[in-house]
Each structure stands twice: as C-alpha cells, then as structure tokens.
Chains A and B, each alone.
Chain A
Amino acid sequence: MSIPSDLATVRPSEDVAERRKELSRRTRRKLVAIAGGPNCGKSTLFNKLTGLRQKVANYPGVTVEKKAGFVPLPSGRTVEVLDLPGTYSLRPGSPDEVVVRDVLLGVQADTPLPDLTLLVLDSTCLERQLYLCMQLIEIGRPVVVALNMMDTAREEGLDVDAALLSRAFGAPVIPISARTGSGLAQLREAMDLEVAAPRAVTRTLPEPLRAVAEGLARMLPASGPLACLNSFHVAMALLLDEGEDDSLMRAAPHPVRREALARRARLDAEIPEWRSHEPIGHYRTIEDLVRRATLRLKPETSVRERIDRVLTHRVLGPVLFAALMAVIFQSMFMWATPIMNAIDAGVNALGRVLSPALPAGPIRSLVVDGVIAGVGAVVTFVPQIAILFLFISLMEDSGYLARAAFIMDRLMRGVGLSGRAFIPLLSSFACAIPGIMATRTIDNRRDRLTTILIAPFMSCSARLPVYALLIGAFIPNRMLFGFLSLPGLVLFSLYVMGILAAVLVAWVLKRTALRGPRPLYVMELPPYRVPSWRSVLLTVRDRAGLFVQKAGTVILAVSIVLWFLASYPKNAEVKPLEKRLQTLEQSMKSDAARGGRAEATAKRAEAAQVQNEIAGVSLRDSFAGRAGRLIEPAIAPLGFDWKIGIALLSSFAAREVMVSTMATVYNLGDADQTSVSLRQKLRNAENPKTGARSYSPLMAVSLMVFFVLACQCMSTVAVVRRETNSWGWPIFMVLMMNGLAWIASFAVFQGGKALGLG
C-alpha cells in the first residue's frame, strides 16, 4: 500500500508547535498518572501518597472527575500525580474509560502526556488485572508497576514473583501495600528515577489482522501528539475507537482517520470476529505469565464465601440489606436533624449578632437575610451529605456496595436501571442533594443521568412541612373503614405518587432522550476488605467540600437574587406603618419606665402585629409579589391565586419556605406548619372580588400534587448542574418536572371540579 503524499511531508508549522510543546514538557513538573482496575486499591494509594495535597475538578465537557495531587520525592522534587478512574481496558466503553485512554495516549485536552504511568495491580487477583497491564506496556511509555495488597496475598498463601514480572515487562515491579504503607518508599524512589520505556510484550494476533494494523501504523505521522507512542498500539486503538466517543480518531490527521475507517470496514467484511482477537491473544500471554509468576502455597480460604453465604442469602440477604438501609435512612434524619437545627440556630444567632453592627436598612437586610441566610442554606445540607457518604464509602470500600447492587438489580430493572440506582433513590427520600451526589457509584452514563433526573421526584423531607400544613388545614381528620386515617392516607398517596412519577419518567427517558445501546451489566463482586478510615473520611470530606464549593456558590447567588426579589421595590404603604411601629416602641419604653404591665403587653402585641403587616405589605408589593400576580393567569386553572403564586416562586429557595411565605403573606409573621392561626387563615381566606372562599380542599390536593412533582429547589438544580457538568440537563429537569406538575395539578383541580368535588 502506498502512503498518501500529504502524510509523508509534515507541515513545518505543526513541527515547530510540537517542538515548543516538547520543550515545555521538559521544563514543567513531572506528571505521573496512576492507572488500575476498579477495586485495586488505587485511590487508597493515591491518598497515601498525596496526603491532603489533593484537588478535585472535572475533565472538560464530561462528568468524569479529575483528581490530582502532589507527591514529594526523596530527591526533594515534587511530582504531580493524577488519579485516573478505574478501568478494565484501554479500549473504552464509558466516558471514564475514554478519559483514561485519552490521558495515557496524550490526547486529553487539558492534560499533558504523563511522563510516567504508575499501574496498580491487586496481587490477589492478578490474572484479570494483567489485561490492562498488557495494553499499558504496549503503549511504550515509561511504566512502574505497583503490586498492591501483597500482604493480603501472602496471608492467603499466594506468592507472586515480582522479579519475573519485571523481566517480562522490562519495567520496575514493586510489591506494596497501600493500606499499611509498606513498599511506598521504594515506589517513591522509582518515581524519582528516569524510568526507561518498557519492552513490548509479545502478543498473538492472526496474521491478516496484524497486517491490517501494521499497515495503518506505518501511515501514522512522525510528529504530532501520537508520535511518541508505539505505532502498532495506536493503530489498534484507532481501529477499536468506535462507539459513542471518538476523541482519539479526532486527534489523528484526517487521512489517517479515513484510512482507519476503511480498514475497519474491510476487517468487518473479512474477519467478522476480529475484535475478539486482541483479548484472546492477550489472555493467552497472561495465562502463561500467571502460571510462571504465581504460586499458591496453601489452598484458597473461603472467608469471602462464608460472608457471601449470609449477605447474599435468599432470605437473609434482602433482610440485612433492608435493615442497613433503615439505619442509613434513620441516620440521615435522626443524626442530621440536630446538627441541621444547630446550624440553623447558629445562622440565626450570627444574624442577630451582626445586625446591630450594621447600619439598619438595605445593607443589613442584604447581609442578614440574603448572604447569611444563603450560606445557611448551603451549610444545612452538609450533615446529610456527610452521613450518606460515610455509609456509601464504607459500603464501597468494604465490598458490600456491589452485593447491594447484586441483590437489588432485579427490582430496579423494571425501571430500566440497575441495582446501583437503588441507594441514590432511597437517599432522595431524605434529600435529593446527597441522593444525586450518590449517583457517582453508577458507572453507566445513561443510567446515571436517568437516576439523577428522577431522584427529585422522591418526596424529600423539605416537602413534609408543606404537606403537613395543607393536610392539617384542609383534610378532615376522619377514619376510613374504621381504621384508615384520611390524613395518613393522603400523605401516603403523595409519596406513592412521587415514586410512580419517577418510574414513568424513567421509562419515557430510557426510550427517548436517553435511549442508547444496551449497556453490559457486568459488575465485579470484589473480595471483602476492611475499609481504611483515612480513605473513608477523605471521601466524606471531598464530597462535602465539593458541594460547598461548586453547588454552594450557585445556591448562595440564587439566595441573594431571591432576597432581592422579595425585598424590593420598597412600598410607600410601609412608611406610615413604620412610623406607627416607632411611636409604639417609644411609648412602650416610657410605659416600661412607669410600670404599666397590662398596657405594655397589649402594646407589644400590637407592635408585633404591625411588624407582620410591614412584612406582608413589603412582600406582597415586592418583585416576587408582583411576579405572583403576573403568573396568576397561568396557575388559576390549578386553583391557585396570586398569593400561592408568591409562595411557589419563593419556595424555589427551598420547598419548606412555602410555609413561612404563606404566613408572611397573611400577616402572620414567622408561623410554621403547625400554626393553628395559619391553618385557619388559609381555610377562611376569601376572594375580595367574589367573597367566596379562596381555597378549597380540592385546591389543597392540587397544590400538594404540584409540590410532589415540581422542581422547586435551587439546590437540586445547582447540584445537578455540578454532577452533569452542564446547564442543559438541570434546565431540562426544571421544565420537565414543572410541566408535569402543571398538567397533573390541572387534571386534579379541573377533574375534581367536574366531578363536583370543589
């Protein structure tokens, strides 16, 4: 085959750019990428090496997390270390694996080609782990292999010949234990040295396939991002770069791309099963290598089998899982609630302490009601996030999370999801924020997105005050059939409705926006391990920290905007009320001096009433109040008036804000959902034009249905934005949920009216 002429000559401009890049590569800090399969102890090693010198970000355009840190070496130099996501193969099948391949081949946009790859292998199950190793060695870039969990392997009576592996790969192989830290000194020393590129591993491939790949390899340009890699590996990688992402293809020059596609088509026609030959060939070499390098000194123990016999038992398994879920769920409520209340009290106290120090008026209001309240809104989520991730990382690191998914898979399949989706959805009954963050354990991108989008349908604890207020005010406390409490039944139905909506939306999404090739639901069930507290606590810290940093800024900004909308413009009616308040306060002072008790109490009550009126007038006439009137025509068919419109808008800060907003609108100050006067006010509220009752039980049901389905939570939006790394999905979610809420409430209210219920 002749080489196209435009490939033989390299354009000089490219060459100069490349040389410049190479130069900067030499002068900058050395970059070490840590690669390895899932569950190989890679993250434990990363944490051990970097300590607290880490930072977490996203790779551009994808939701894959980029974890980087710095490691001091014996020579005094510091290297930058990148913790790549766990992967089984360099032929990617998920966004995570695309990133791993792209980083290791130097085509990842924001990451230079690593100077060294540290490959972590779990010594206790070497055979499957060596697959990635074979591919990595073939790239032809410097590699250091860390044989992790050597202590466990020895305890289990498994001997691994590191020297033999080192000779086979032509790369340093260092036995370590990331958990205990043994061997890490040698690892640091190896990272300090200039490691030579490894020896190419022999691989068996059928001749026609080899010829096709070699032909493509010869066409690769002599410069550019792929030039310093083994050309045969790059050729095979190009041939196998199909599926969703083709970032490697895009990194290759146009003629090479065309040639790769042509050769792939030819292979498909001539050797239909050609894709299987790489694994078949690699495993042949691996089997031989494992036979020579490992020795089982005593028969395998059955610790894992004994634990699994209980934890995945037909009856005991689900029972224990349910019990554990109950504990997690309870902790998210019980442990988090006192901390959240303390935070709330702290935030209020801070506001009170700061108030006198600030000039009365807009600045004080901005700081106290805008900024401090906003920070409070962010911080209150932290306890629940920390508790959920404490459990999740304990389950993940011990190996139980995979068993939980194994048990729940059949159930979740009904919705088109896998067992991994269960815990995030369950947690969302407490709060969707930690629930959505927990979807990180779902490796399939479409499943993860579906789970994120349906999680907010689970009735979270913030909806409870709203339900409590409306049920208390409008649903008669009657028994049905003598044993079913009507309020209880209504509350239960609201929870069921959220679940049904989630199932429906998941079903639709899986057939429309998130349709795609059926993923391979194969999941490793790792051996049980004792989790390392350090790793668990670092995960908890990471999650909470990331939430505060990334989602927190959005939440704070929206809080300030909401504060502004509810406080401005200032109303003229407020002036005389404020005057009245001032005179009242002054006369109260003089009364106190004279000692008139009864009079003072009456005046205090009046002052409180005036204060509530001021709050009511200001809110009713604020931008938020006007917006409430503006949207009235849109929500009138659902049975809502403009006052509820204000509550709907302001509850975007958090759903429970609806209750205090209704209280303010009705001049009741800061009443909560148990307030009898607020319930009475709602029941007796009249439409000034018609004189009829504003709200009926039917409207209350319609409103509760709206709260079940609508996305009225800026924190959810912020966290979805962060977890999907896009604004598109959160916007879609808001439109979808609120559209659904409107339709359902419309159906309830209009249907109910047609049936003569309201």
Chain B
Amino acid sequence: MTPRGRAPERRTRKLGELKAGARAIVRRVSGEPELLRRLMELGFVPGTTITLVRRAPMGDPIELRLRGTHFSIRHSEADRIDVDPF
C-alpha cells in the first residue's frame, strides 16, 4: 500500500493469483533444482510474457499461454512463479 492508500499498479505476485485473461511478466521462478529446470525448459524464463487463459471447471489447474503455447499447470506449481502483472 502506498501512503495515499491506493494499491500500486504493478506489484509482484504469484502467477496463480492472476485473474482469468490477465497478462503478466515472469519475474522469478523458485523451487527444487530439478523442477525449476523443467519449468525453465518449457519457457518459464524470467522476462517471458504469460497470459492466464482460464481456470479449470473445478478452479484448478489453470491454463496459461506463453511463447505461443498453451499449458495446463496446477496452482501449487503456479505459486512457484512470481510475476509482474501488466
């Protein structure tokens, strides 16, 4: 919160917290080395633009779009990815 009591436009948050349809830029990916490497190889590299396309009917997993490809990813994994919303 800023002193004027208004939320700042850009604030780093977890990928899973985005609304459906929102776009964001990957800032940081964390996790065990092996999982981290796998995510990176799929294109979850800092600086990449990601769109949260939709949530599955039961709220989880979520559908993402990055680098022209759509992925389904669970919330628990999406929480390893910090993003800056547009």
Contacts and interface: CB of A to CB of B under 8 A. Distances in A.
- Report whether chain A binds chain B: yes
Contact of A280 (B40, B56, B60, B63): B40
Contact of B63 (A243, A406, A410, A526): A406
B61 A409 contact: yes
A409 B58 CA distance: 9
A396 to B, nearest CB: 15
B6 to A, nearest CB: 33
B13 to A, nearest CB: 20
Which of B58, B60, B68, B74 neighbours the largest number of chain A CB atoms within 10 Å of its CB?
B68
B40 A276 contact: yes
B22 interface: no
A667 B77 CA distance: 63
B36 interface: yes
Contacts of B57: 312-315, 317-318, 407
Contacts of A242: 34
A522 B45 contact: no
B69 A524 contact: yes
A306 B48 CA distance: 25
B41 to A, nearest CB: 4
A521 B42 contact: no
B37 A521 contact: no
Interface in B33-85: 33-43, 45-46, 48, 53-54, 56-61, 63, 67-74, 77
B70 A525 contact: yes
B72 A523 contact: yes
B32 interface: yes
B43 A128 contact: yes
Interface string A390-429: 0000000000001001110111010000000000000000
B37 A522 contact: no
Given A127-B67, A312-B63, A522-B71, A275 B36 contact: yes
Contacts of A518: 35
Interface in A72-102: 88-89, 91, 93
Contacts of A131: 41, 43
Nearest to B60: A410
Contacts of A508: none
Contacts of B35: 518, 520
A413 B61 CA distance: 10
B43 A522 contact: no
B56 A522 contact: no
B34 A402 contact: no
B29 to A, nearest CB: 8
Nearest to A518: B35
B65 to A, nearest CB: 9
B21 to A, nearest CB: 11
A168 interface: no
A507 interface: no
A521 B34 contact: no
Interface residues of A, number: 45
Nearest to B45: A283
A407 B38 contact: no
A542 interface: no
Contacts of A344: none
A93 B41 CA distance: 11
B40 A405 contact: no
Nearest to B33: A275
Nearest to A418: B74
Contacts of B48: 283
A242 B60 CA distance: 30
A251 interface: no
A243 B34 CA distance: 8
B36 A276 contact: yes
A280 B44 CA distance: 9
A525 B53 CA distance: 11
B42 A88 contact: yes
Contacts of A93: 34, 38
Given A312-B63, A318-B57, A520-B77, A406 B37 contact: no
Contacts of B29: 276
A488 interface: no
A469 B72 CA distance: 46
B32 A402 contact: no
A280 B45 contact: yes
A364 B60 CA distance: 61
Contacts of B33: 275
Contact of B72 (A126, A313, A406): A406
Given A125-B69, A127-B43, A128-B42, A525 B63 contact: yes
Given A279-B45, A283-B43, A524-B71, A517 B32 contact: yes
Contacts of A283: 43, 45, 48
A240 interface: yes
Contacts of A585: none
B30 to A, nearest CB: 9
A410 B61 CA distance: 7
B71 A279 contact: no
Interface in A300-342: 304, 308, 312-315, 317-318
Nearest to A276: B40
Nearest to B38: A520
A320 to B, nearest CB: 11
A308 B63 CA distance: 11
Interface string A524-548: 1110000000000000000000000
A522 B36 contact: no
A521 B74 contact: yes
Which of B53, B63, B67 neighbours the largest number of chain A CB atoms within 10 Å of its CB?
B67
A489 B37 CA distance: 51
Contact of B37 (A275, A315, A410, A413): A275
A287 to B, nearest CB: 9
A240 B63 CA distance: 29
A275 B32 CA distance: 11
B4 to A, nearest CB: 37
Given A283-B45, A409-B60, A91 B70 contact: no
Contacts of A304: 70
Contact of A312 (B40, B41, B54, B67): B54
Contacts of B34: 93, 242-243, 517
A524 B68 CA distance: 11
Given A406-B56, A410-B60, A522 B73 contact: yes
A89 B53 CA distance: 25
A461 to B, nearest CB: 30
Nearest to B70: A525
Given A283-B43, A525-B71, A308 B38 contact: no
Given A89-B41, A128-B42, A521-B61, A410 B56 contact: yes
Interface of A: 88-89, 91, 93, 124-128, 131, 240, 242-243, 273, 275-276, 278-280, 283, 304, 308, 312-315, 317-318, 402, 405-407, 409-411, 413, 517-518, 520-526
* Pairs A-B, 9 closest by C-beta atoms: A279-B40, A410-B58, A525-B70, A127-B67, A125-B68, A275-B37, A89-B41, A128-B69, A523-B72
30 contacts: A91-B41, A93-B38, A126-B68, A128-B67, A131-B43, A243-B34, A275-B37, A275-B40, A276-B36, A276-B37, A276-B45, A283-B45, A308-B53, A308-B63, A313-B57, A318-B57, A402-B72, A406-B56, A406-B63, A409-B60, A410-B56, A410-B60, A517-B32, A521-B73, A521-B74, A521-B77, A522-B42, A524-B70, A525-B70, A526-B70
Given A127-B43, A525-B70, 7 more contacts: A125-B68, A242-B34, A275-B33, A280-B45, A410-B56, A523-B72, A524-B72
